[in-house]
Structure 1
Amino acid sequence: MKKALLIIILFIGTQRFAHAQDFDKSVTTEDLELKKYAKDTAAHAVFLDEFGNSRIDVVSDDHVRLIFNYHARIKIFDAKGLESGTITIPIHHSADNETAEEVDEIVGTTYYRDDDGLMRSAPLDIKKVYTVKDYKYRSTVKFALPALRPGCVVDFKYRLMSPYLDGFRSWDFQDEIPKIHSKYEVHIPAFWNFNASLRGGIKLSNTSSELERECFSSHGAKCDCSHIVYEMKDIPAFIGEDYMTSPKNFIAAIYFEEVEWTNPYTSVKTVVAKTWKDIDHLLKSDENFGSQFKRKELMKDRITPVITGKTDELEKAKAIYTYLQKWYKWNNYIGIYSFEGIKKAFDSHSGSIGDINISLAAALRAADLNVELVVLSTRENGNINMLYPVISDFNYVIAKVNIGEKSYLLDATDPLLSFGLLPLDCLNDKGRVISLDKPSYWIELSGLQKESSTRALDLTLLDNGKIKGTIINYYSGYDAYKKRKAIKKFNSVDEYVESQDEKFPKLKILKSSITNLDSLELPLSETFEVEIDAFDNLNHNRLVFNPFLWEKITTNPFKLAERDYPVDWGMASDSRLVLSMHLPAGYTIESPPQSVAFKMPGNGGMYASSFEEGGNSFTFSNIIKFTKPIYTSEEYPYLKELYNKIILTEKADMVFKKK
């Protein structure tokens, strides 16, 4: 579980001195001979050592920069560990690259034994380092160490210089592979003040600090520095599981947030960490956020034809939402701001999350509806730091329209989202509501939605051993969105149906129809007339049949004996199966499926099945229900056990016996 520790970087009185330095020992024979890491014998690689150093200082061009030096040494045990020899370094920059982070002083070496057992080293060719642009504001520097092979040791260093002094470098102590030792030291001039927070459930093995006299000097401005060392040893690998939010919510790491800074040359102090009242003012007055939200007159002429003749507020809101949802194409950029402005985005039919959803909010205001904006952090981005307001924690914005006693959260960036439905990535913890006429406030985002599906099968076993009948699948809520998205990936509905035919080799789809594919407000249904090659013929005394022929749970997604972080589905779910089956004359059911009912404590979830027989027919039904969007680590064993029971139950076959 996440555990936060607030550390204010202020030095009063006597401090324990911090003496940290990069490791400089050579790669040894013992390093190359190491076959396994004793504390995690399943590890494919292990950090033998890791060191980082961040400081704010003046560089050669007389600019003040945040300088980060990194050095790591990794032992690779087997082929699966070879990916640890490929290094990626994210860098941030402005859209025009005028302001950018830079990576240099890259050095790397691979140590290995050749075919004769001799120790060799292969240096990195700097020409093999390349940079790829991820999107407008970020790129990635990449390189692969040479001569990678099981048993080798890789050692690499680099320096990153950043103009973004407010984004002091965080440090991940934990990684996908274990670490024997990890040390991070920081040097922060007194002109800057940061809050540091330690996250994750692992304690520091050592921390020390000292005051460095006049460590920063620029054009006559001087100050002391805080020199702090953070250290961990024997750090286990972070093992992710299904149904969790961003790993950075749980990984052992230290983060820094700027509190205030003083201009070294003018002595003007700027307070960065503010109250929510300050954040409200900043966002409402920001030309890329609040100023765009207020531009309802810009949107009035554009949406007047859309709502003409409509008097009901909900009807107006839905019409505007559908109109803009079809008007825009999302450009794949996530962020809370409209940097290009909603007018340019509207005219170009394209925009970012901020462009599209702020223009949606402005358009709803133009229709005289009660509208607010909600800023949030996506599941991938991680949870918001609740200790103090930080605008950079938020990376997504949606609209909130209030009609009568009900509120609807809207995201117009996806053409398949129905009115009031959000992407799963937005269902993360809490969002901050920004209103133009009242203070901001929190709303809960988890558990707002539900996914629901029902599968109804009406099948007949024929004399030739085939099974014919109808399968109808009903989807509502988020399940309907997921199914629409899956269908739309294909060039046509026929191509999608063909893929379903190929998915089940013994099943042949004779006829199909899909209802409400483009009617987003309605449940989606698909009907298949099918023929199944179940048995060669009926010249058998016994026939084995599994009722879960369309979809069956065979693997438990929860494999850890214990789990230290929540299972977060983002929403509750309800899945049902109803099978009606008709047997030929002369057959009876020798082994019917068991009627079972399993429940989690506190009505957190359930699995139940029932069987009813009548003449030569029977009805079998089951339900899997999870009532909560999030399950704690204490509830994890019950969740895991419920899945075990589901798998065991669905594995059991029925037996039809000839009379």
Structure 2
Amino acid sequence: MKKLRFTFLVIFLSMTVFNSFATINEGLKFGKIPDELVTMKVYEADPDAEAVVLSDIGDTKIAFSAGAGFQITYRLHKVIKILTKGGVSYGDFQIPYYSIPGRTDLVGGIKGFVYNESNGSIVKEKIGKEHVFEEEVSKTYRIKKISAPNIKEGSVVELSYEITSDLFSYLREWEFQNEIPTRWSEYSLEYPEYFSFSQSAQGFEQYAINEQSEGTGSANWSETERSGGRVAQSTTTNNSVNFSTKKYHWAIQNAPALRPEPYIDNPQSYSTKIEFQLQYLQFPNSQRQTFSGSWNTMSEELLKDPEFGKYLERNKFVQEIVPQLISAEQSEQEKLIAISDHLTKMVKWNGSYSIYPTQSLEKVYNGGKGNLADMNFLLIAFLREAGFDCHPVVGSTRGSGFVNPGNPVMYKLNYLSALVKTADKEFLMDISDPSLPFGFLPINGMNFRGWAVIPNNASRWVDIFNTIPTTETAMITAKMEDDHMLSSIQKTTKGYQSSLIKNKINSTGEDKYKQEMTDEFTGGELISIQFENLDSKEKGIVEKYEIKTNEGVVLSGENIYLNLFENSYLSENPFKLDSRVFPIDFIYPQKRQVILNLDIPEGYAVEEMPQSIMTQFNEKAIVYSFRIAPPSNGRITIMLSYQVNETLFKAEEYQNLKEFFDLIANKQKEAIVLKKI
């Protein structure tokens, strides 16, 4: 499994397809939108689309300015067609930018139009300054929000703007795909020979244009010298330097929408895009300035960084607290659980992701709240004080895309966990979610791989995924009463599902949660609900239900047809599409079991029963069994088992996987037939 995950990630993140289309559909010019695009009702390539990106063109150039030196200029032009009322929100734009003291992005030249059809003619409305708003996300990060006027179903919205920046270490990436389909996306990049950028391409779409060439540029500036004496004199010298440039040009035509599909929680992670990282600067007659290198170099930089490395130093307040939490008689796992339980009671996560703490660890502990790095650096400090070998692991959340092993990009890192070594195992720990049992990482943190930051060149990659299965076991006793079924259910859930239930109950309250379940129950009556072990992380939640329902019960003459699992889990195949581009990711291993005891109503006998089966997919990567025992003492016993052992499958396996789940769904719809005697 580990090999599969690594192989997939390397192939996906290094994928660049050089095929070209026979025809190239160029992007649109600003202010010149063809009438047929304004009057277009449906995008033929995707009739269900709520909106479509008609044209998305970016041009980035690093050039010399006499007053400011070398600067990056981004020029962008985007055109979006709104096709439905549900697509209106796609007409709003956001321009994120950095505002760092001494170095910043300058956003300007914002202009645009909204095009609408009215009484057979095209009305063109200007986007003005009054439609631009500013939002400060953090001290260094801001967003300009553009709320275009009079956007409605049928509108075409276009926006053009320019960003000037000297933040060479943050050369912006270019994404060719969006949540909605993209008719044409084009990007150009040109920079002088003094700069060296690494490139990282990912995605599945073919390039209509993929070109590389060389160009030329020049730097022109003036220097003025002043001489002393009774009459001050000055001499101005004009200077000029010519240099070569590297030029790149990419385009993709008809990129499909990145829509959610079953078992892929963030399609945007698989978008076709290109990322850049500044490697070094080397001007004539100057030493090379290195900005990025290997992941080991990045580790050294982090450990030297006072905003990161100093939080690994020993803390006096931690020395005083840890001995009160653990004892020599405890096992290593008991110590780990004791420390993590204590910290989750003392400190709550504020919902912010980062690899950098925001305050001293003592303030985090006493204040009771912190970001992800605050909490997990605190955990590392406590575990080290308890004698564990423990190091930070940096990575990216599932919602932020993958970390590329071949391209160390610091600004992409926003997730931090703790790697803990015991006598015979390694654990990854994260205390941001207090509802999770020991050994379970939050789902958003399980994003293939992370980089363990360890001194003395010992840093290395670690797999970030959970190997402990989430389990659910249900014991059901059912009996017929008139034309409906009465069922007593006891379900024990451990792992991610129990965490989900606990978090819902904690946010709404137990009584309200029960009421919501009662209101949402269809096809019968939810008579009673009880929960046990809500206060325990390590014990599974026990749910007890009494249900009265006529779903799956059909009376026909002298026969009763019972479809007991007709509306249960796996009774519908989650894979509906004919084909799939994305991999299938179940995220975590799981095991579900159902044992159902059905009392045969008096005066009836079994006429027909489903056959028992046991089937598997891909060498027991997924296993399903349906076992039904012959009637005994007036009772039928059915045992269902479904187990996901491997969690990631390639897109090429989709058809076989779809057929496997078809088999399961059909099996669960088979009926037991009872006949009156």
User: TM over 0.5, yes or no?
Assistant: yes
Q: Is 2:98 the partner of 1:110? A: no
Query: Distance in 2 between the 1:347 and 1:257 partners?
Result: 39
Q: Is 2:663 the partner of 1:645? A: yes
3-state DSSP of counterpart to 2:619: helix
The Cα of 1:327 is off from its aligned counterpart by 0.9
Aligned to 1:257: 277
Q: Is 2:533 the partner of 1:521? A: no
Aligned to 1:130: 133
The Cα of 1:585 is off from its aligned counterpart by 1.0
The RMSD of aligned alpha carbons is: 3.2
The Cα of 1:452 is off from its aligned counterpart by 1.5
Q: Is 2:73 the partner of 1:54? A: no
The Cα of 1:160 is off from its aligned counterpart by 2.8
3-state DSSP of counterpart to 1:324: helix
Query: Distance in 1 between the 2:258 and 2:552 partners?
Result: 44
Aligned to 1:27: 33
1:143-154 pair list within 5 angstroms: 143-154=146-157
Query: Relative to 1, partners in 2 of residues 1:157 and 1:555: Cα closer, same or farther, differing over 3 Å?
Result: farther
CA contact (8 A) 2:178 2:268 kept: no
Query: Distance in 2 between the 1:135 and 1:591 partners?
Result: 66
Query: Relative to 1, partners in 2 of residues 1:271 and 1:61: Cα closer, same or farther, differing over 3 Å?
Result: same
1:540-555 pair list within 5 angstroms: 541-548=558-565, 551-553=568-570, 555=572
Query: Relative to 1, partners in 2 of residues 1:399 and 1:218: Cα closer, same or farther, differing over 3 Å?
Result: farther
Amino acid in the other structure paired with 1:180: R
The Cα of 1:528 is off from its aligned counterpart by 2.3
Amino acid in the other structure paired with 1:70: L
The Cα of 1:457 is off from its aligned counterpart by 0.6
Q: How many residues align?
A: 641
CA contact (8 A) 1:453 1:475 kept: yes
Query: Distance in 2 between the 1:136 and 1:460 partners?
Result: 64
The Cα of 1:215 is off from its aligned counterpart by 4.8
Query: Distance in 2 between the 1:181 and 1:523 partners?
Result: 51
1:529-578: per-residue Cα shift (whole Å, max 9, x none)?
Answer: 34446699999633343312773445433233222231112222222221
Query: Distance in 1 between the 2:385 and 2:38 partners?
Result: 69
3-state DSSP of counterpart to 2:508: coil
1:303 maps to which of 307, 322, 347? 322
The Cα of 1:117 is off from its aligned counterpart by 0.6
Query: Relative to 1, partners in 2 of residues 1:439 and 1:538: Cα closer, same or farther, differing over 3 Å?
Result: closer
Query: Relative to 1, partners in 2 of residues 1:518 and 1:199: Cα closer, same or farther, differing over 3 Å?
Result: same
Query: Distance in 2 between the 1:180 and 1:532 partners?
Result: 50
Query: Relative to 1, partners in 2 of residues 1:422 and 1:528: Cα closer, same or farther, differing over 3 Å?
Result: same
Query: Relative to 1, partners in 2 of residues 1:332 and 1:100: Cα closer, same or farther, differing over 3 Å?
Result: farther
CA contact (8 A) 1:242 1:558 kept: yes
CA contact (8 A) 1:57 1:65 kept: yes
TM-score, normalised relative to structure 1: 0.88
The Cα of 1:334 is off from its aligned counterpart by 0.6
Query: Distance in 1 between the 2:290 and 2:657 partners?
Result: 46
3-state DSSP of counterpart to 1:174: coil
CA contact (8 A) 1:190 1:223 kept: no
1:605-634: per-residue Cα shift (whole Å, max 9, x none)?
Answer: 233212222243211221222221101112
The Cα of 1:213 is off from its aligned counterpart by 2.1
1:179 maps to which of 170, 178, 182? 182
Aligned to 1:4: 14
The Cα of 1:52 is off from its aligned counterpart by 0.9
Query: Distance in 2 between the 1:539 and 1:385 partners?
Result: 61
Query: Relative to 1, partners in 2 of residues 1:138 and 1:582: Cα closer, same or farther, differing over 3 Å?
Result: farther
Aligned to 1:16: none
Query: Relative to 1, partners in 2 of residues 1:598 and 1:367: Cα closer, same or farther, differing over 3 Å?
Result: closer
Query: Relative to 1, partners in 2 of residues 1:308 and 1:619: Cα closer, same or farther, differing over 3 Å?
Result: closer
Query: Relative to 1, partners in 2 of residues 1:180 and 1:479: Cα closer, same or farther, differing over 3 Å?
Result: closer
Query: Distance in 2 between the 1:630 and 1:482 partners?
Result: 22
CA contact (8 A) 1:331 1:351 kept: yes
1:68-116: per-residue Cα shift (whole Å, max 9, x none)?
Answer: 221022333444443432222333445xx886544332212122221x2
Amino acid in the other structure paired with 2:647: P
Query: Relative to 1, partners in 2 of residues 1:480 and 1:75: Cα closer, same or farther, differing over 3 Å?
Result: closer
Q: Is 2:625 the partner of 1:608? A: yes
Query: Distance in 2 between the 1:228 and 1:21 partners?
Result: 19
Aligned to 2:88: 82
CA contact (8 A) 1:288 1:341 kept: no
CA contact (8 A) 2:300 2:455 kept: no
Amino acid in the other structure paired with 1:252: T
Structure 2, unpaired ranges of 5+: 1-10, 18-25, 224-238
The Cα of 1:473 is off from its aligned counterpart by 0.7
Query: Distance in 2 between the 1:234 and 1:640 partners?
Result: 29
2:122 maps to which of 119, 122, 136? 119
CA contact (8 A) 2:580 2:654 kept: yes
2:612 maps to which of 581, 591, 595? 595
Query: Relative to 1, partners in 2 of residues 1:187 and 1:296: Cα closer, same or farther, differing over 3 Å?
Result: same
Query: Distance in 2 between the 1:162 and 1:450 partners?
Result: 48
CA contact (8 A) 2:270 2:401 kept: no
Amino acid in the other structure paired with 1:558: F
